[in-house]
Structure 1
Amino acid sequence: MKNLTTVTSFYLSEFSGMEDLKSLYFCVFFFIYMSIIAENVVLIRVIYREKSLHEPMYGLLCNLALNSMYGGTALLPGVLVSVLSHSHEISVSFCQAQVYAIHTYAIIEFTILAVMSYDRYVAICHPLSYHTIMTEKFVKLVVFMWFYPLLAFVIVLIVTVQLPYCRRTIEKVYCLNYLLVRLACTDTSIVNVVGLVSVGLYTVPQLIMIFYSYAHILKICMTTFRESKFKALRTCTPHLLSIVNYSFGCFFEIARGRFDSSHMSYQTKMFMSLYFLIFPPLLNPIIYGLSIQIIRLRLLRLFSRKSRQVQIK
């Protein structure tokens, strides 16, 4: 068995397929990263400056935007550096830090989406009490959304970082916890049990909240007038699209990691591997910006004002 100190870095093998077009890949990833930051900053700015949007629903949307920037930053700067690098190696400590950032981003994202489903439940099922209920609970929900994932995943990471590594090839462009566990040269059954339990703790409460909320929303829709049904559907559409988008990412990540992908093209594997960390942060601002009328109008006003200023200059 090799000693832990013999492994000081990991080799990210998926970058080898970018060698011939590394400049193109760098430009694409750089554009995606700048788009994620710009879209979410603009969304937060619009909500912050528009007094009528200072409601719990839009506060949760700001948290979703902040987490999108956190997730994009956890992945893309490291990818940009590695694309231009000749060695495509990542230090053990940086890899472990990336594992923490990527996993906490994923848990926070799912938790925010779950809380947003509860927000929609209160708004549709208890409209007269919405502001009272959500205003009283808002700070507690925000603290829960962030600190629960950030603190809870530390336990999993502590178990992982103590493993002795005797292999160093990671077949991805970034690090994940289960990939590090695979590289260990010791019995990982306890680690696997801890990981399985943690997955349940990170997903089951959120799933219960989402299904509970939409079960009650569906019940209300079935007993109300047609106009009220369309209004409820319109209110929930952006959130449902975000959940579907996130679910696609989860499905692709599970399929990519658990099943044989040797028959897939390099581009398909890259798409499935990166969907989870690129498309939710990239598409969420667009989904909400286009679906919610007041945000759409404020964005149009913002960009038309900037356009007039440019023309004057």
Structure 2
Amino acid sequence: MGSNITTSSIIFLLTGVPGLEAFHSWISIPFCFLYVTALSGNSLILFAIITQPSLHEPMYYFLSMLSTTDLGLSMSTLVTMLGIFWFNAREITFNACLFQMFFIKLFTVMESSVLLTMAFDRFVAISNPLRYATILTDSRIVQIGVAIVIRGTLMLTPMVALLKRLSYCSSHVLHHSYCYHPDVMKLSCTDTRINSAVGLTAMISTVGVDSVLILLSYVLIIKTILSIASPEERKKAFSTCISHIGAVAIFYIPLISLSFVHRFGQQAPAYVHTMIANTYLLIPPVMNPIIYSVKTKQIRRAVIKILNSKEA
């Protein structure tokens, strides 16, 4: 099977959890639970922010962007992952694979951008509280949202489009239960150096740059907090950042662990790779609503209010 096969006719085979195929229906139970938690938690937060006028503030608008990207991230993997666990539906066409890969990467990059924007939001709120409302106007928040989507799309389109120029050899078996860029690239029998370079550039210039800027924001935030005179106000200023710090940690730690496992964890059993890869996309969508509901009084009140009104 040489390079005369057209890419559009290629069928890839996704993989569930290698070595544990017999237990797929059992493994699907925790994943279903995680998906239900992620989808209901983020939908609830979005609904609360839209319907409660008290939450119509920049900080919560950014949180609603975070919930939207988390919903997108969950939905991008849901169909193929549960398809494999429930129906052993492993086949995916080349174009569907590119489509899924694009959206997984897009929502990952958007999540990173939103977390950076939230760090900027906290910095402005703490260092310049009087000008906060004039700096972060509604129209500016909309512009930021549009910029986040455009940035992700421009950065990732070449990376995904370039996979079309490769030819794929005899093996079409992917190692994850969704399409993952390095995974697809490995199946090619053409030179993938350009693809690797473009992929790496896209990730460094988005997630890499964002993480450095988030760190920088926190250096400035801490500097500002330390210059506040009363310990009470210091504590109050810092407590508004706690949820965001949590969100940043649960996004970047699994992301970095996955890259490390890919680079250095060759000796680890195959199912370890798969489990990390499967949960890395589910941890932020599951945890973010929980962190924000627990740590942010206004969100907690709004969510309780909505749940009570449904019971009434």
TM-score by length of 1: 0.91
Post-superposition shift, 1:265? 7.2
Q: How high is the sequence identity, in percent, across the aligned residues?
A: 27
Is the counterpart of residue 229 in structure 1 residue 234 in structure 2?
A: yes
In structure 2, what is the equivalent of residue 101 of structure 1? 103
> Is the alpha carbon distance of 1:280 and 1:87 closer, same or farther for their aligned partners in structure 2, counting shifts above 3 Å?
closer
Tell whether the 8 Å contact from 1:118 to 1:209 is kept in structure 2 after alignment: no
Corresponding letter in the other structure for 2:98: Q
Q: 1:169 is paired with a residue of what secondary structure?
A: coil
Q: 2:177 is paired with a residue of what secondary structure?
A: coil
Q: What's the C-alpha RMSD, in Å, of the aligned pairs?
A: 1.9
In structure 1, what is the equivalent of residue 204 of structure 2? 200
In structure 1, what is the equivalent of residue 58 of structure 2? 56
Distance across 2 between alignment mates of 1:19 and 1:203: 34
* Structure 1 residues 219-261: Cα deviation after superposition (integer angstroms, max 9, x where no partner): 1112112112211210000000000001122122112322234
Distance across 2 between alignment mates of 1:140 and 1:254: 32
Distance across 1 between alignment mates of 2:273 and 2:209: 31
Q: Number of residues paired by the alignment? A: 307
Distance across 2 between alignment mates of 1:162 and 1:15: 30
In structure 2, what is the equivalent of residue 170 of structure 1? 174
Is the counterpart of residue 8 in structure 1 residue 10 in structure 2?
A: yes
> Is the alpha carbon distance of 1:11 and 1:137 closer, same or farther for their aligned partners in structure 2, counting shifts above 3 Å?
same
Structure 2 portions without partners, runs of 5+: none
Post-superposition shift, 1:306? 3.0
Q: 1:10 is paired with a residue of what secondary structure?
A: strand
Distance across 2 between alignment mates of 1:19 and 1:207: 37
In structure 2, what is the equivalent of residue 244 of structure 1? 249
Corresponding letter in the other structure for 1:278: L
Post-superposition shift, 1:263? 3.4
Q: 2:65 is paired with a residue of what secondary structure?
A: helix
Is the counterpart of residue 147 in structure 1 residue 121 in structure 2?
A: no
Q: Name which of 212, 216, 223 aligns with 2:220.
A: 216
In structure 1, what is the equivalent of residue 285 of structure 2? 281
Q: 1:168 is paired with a residue of what secondary structure?
A: coil
Structure 1 portions without partners, runs of 5+: none
Distance across 1 between alignment mates of 2:277 and 2:238: 32
Post-superposition shift, 1:69? 0.7
> Is the alpha carbon distance of 1:292 and 1:180 closer, same or farther for their aligned partners in structure 2, counting shifts above 3 Å?
same
Corresponding letter in the other structure for 1:130: Y
Distance across 2 between alignment mates of 1:16 and 1:198: 30
Distance across 1 between alignment mates of 2:51 and 2:227: 38
Distance across 1 between alignment mates of 2:209 and 2:147: 12
* Structure 1 residues 11-67: Cα deviation after superposition (integer angstroms, max 9, x where no partner): 223444443223223333333222211111111111111111101110011111011
Stretch moving more, 131-140 or 24-33: 24-33
Distance across 2 between alignment mates of 1:67 and 1:131: 25
Q: 1:170 is paired with a residue of what secondary structure?
A: coil
* Structure 1 residues 164-209: Cα deviation after superposition (integer angstroms, max 9, x where no partner): 1113122222111111111111111222222222222213442343
Distance across 1 between alignment mates of 2:207 and 2:32: 31
In structure 1, what is the equivalent of residue 83 of structure 2? 81
Distance across 2 between alignment mates of 1:87 and 1:296: 39
- Show the 5 A alignment for 1:38-53: 38-53=40-55
Tell whether the 8 Å contact from 2:118 to 2:244 is kept in structure 1 after alignment: yes
> Is the alpha carbon distance of 1:4 and 1:299 closer, same or farther for their aligned partners in structure 2, counting shifts above 3 Å?
farther
In structure 2, what is the equivalent of residue 27 of structure 1? 29
Stretch moving more, 173-182 or 101-110: 173-182
- Show the 5 A alignment for 1:103-118: 103-118=105-120
> Is the alpha carbon distance of 1:220 and 1:40 closer, same or farther for their aligned partners in structure 2, counting shifts above 3 Å?
same
In structure 2, what is the equivalent of residue 131 of structure 1? 133
Tell whether the 8 Å contact from 1:261 to 1:269 is kept in structure 2 after alignment: no
Stretch moving more, 43-52 or 135-144: 135-144
> Is the alpha carbon distance of 1:85 and 1:15 closer, same or farther for their aligned partners in structure 2, counting shifts above 3 Å?
farther
Post-superposition shift, 1:216? 1.3
Tell whether the 8 Å contact from 1:117 to 1:214 is kept in structure 2 after alignment: yes
